[in-house]
Amino acid sequence: MPTSLLYKEWLKLRLAWTLLLVGGAAFAIFLFFKLRYVYTINDPLDVWNAWMTKAWLYFRAYQYAPLTLGLVLGLLQYLPEVQAHRIRLVLHLPLGETRAIALHLAIGAALLTAALIPAVALFTISGICYFPAEYLHNILTVLTPPILVGYGAYFATAAILLETNWRHRVLYLLLATGGLRLFMMENAYDTYERILAPLALWTFALALVPLYSSYRFRKGLR
């Protein structure tokens, strides 16, 4: 049963996921070559100085990419199921609603991870090529909050679409928007270094909300 569900989701999402993967990777490549161009017209010490003293984040524009990927992936995975009422069939599978939705969430999170890996790898390579060794630590602390936003957006989208009560939907939307907005206030390297663990726990706690929404959907609660 889990294998069949996995195959069904892959057939549904493979084309859209491929486009998201290519689009995200292409944007990361563009930023990489933009950094390379900056190095061709400036002295490396000037670039490093801008990085350390002026908070020049050359990949700042990418911070919205994980958010977009998570939101779009969540919509593509759950909106057709809810609109066509196919989600009711999923929730009546012998797996049970909790295991069935948990498997859907695991599939979506895995696809989101795969879509983000090329950009993370490319930014890491750029750090090795163009910045001091200390930069590799910075790249992780700077990239982690936007990546967590991507997962949070995915889980929040799933919860909102699976919820049957509009008041709960609005509440989830407000909580997700307000909470995830706090992850997007980076203005210098290491801004979030000391609170990455709580941010990660808060983000992945959102994965429990779709499970609760699916329970309410299955029981017809209002």
Query: What pLDDT score does 100 carry?
Result: 79
Query: What pLDDT score does 157 carry?
Result: 92
Query: What pLDDT score does 19 carry?
Result: 94
Mind listing the pLDDT tens digit for each residue in 141-163?
Answer: 778 888 999 999 999 999 898 88
Return the half-sphere exposure (C-beta side, CA atoms, 13 A cut-off) of residue 120. 17
Whether 65 contacts 24, CB under 8 Å: yes
Mind listing the pLDDT tens digit for each residue in 160-213?
Answer: 988 878 888 888 888 888 878 777 776 666 677 777 888 888 888 888 888 887
The residues, ordered by sequence, that sit 6+ positions from 124 with a Cβ below 8 Å of its Cβ are 136, 139
C-alpha span between 20 and 6 (Å, rounded): 19
- Could you tell me which residue, 83 or 118, shows the higher pLDDT? 118
The residue-averaged pLDDT of 96-124 equals 87
**Whole-structure pTM value:** 0.87
pLDDT for residue 82 is more than 70: yes
Query: What pLDDT score does 190 carry?
Result: 67
Query: What pLDDT score does 199 carry?
Result: 84
C-alpha span between 45 and 49 (Å, rounded): 6
The three-state DSSP-derived secondary structure of 120-139 is HHHHHHHHHHHCCCHHHHHH
Residue 163: CB atoms within 10 A of its CB come to 24
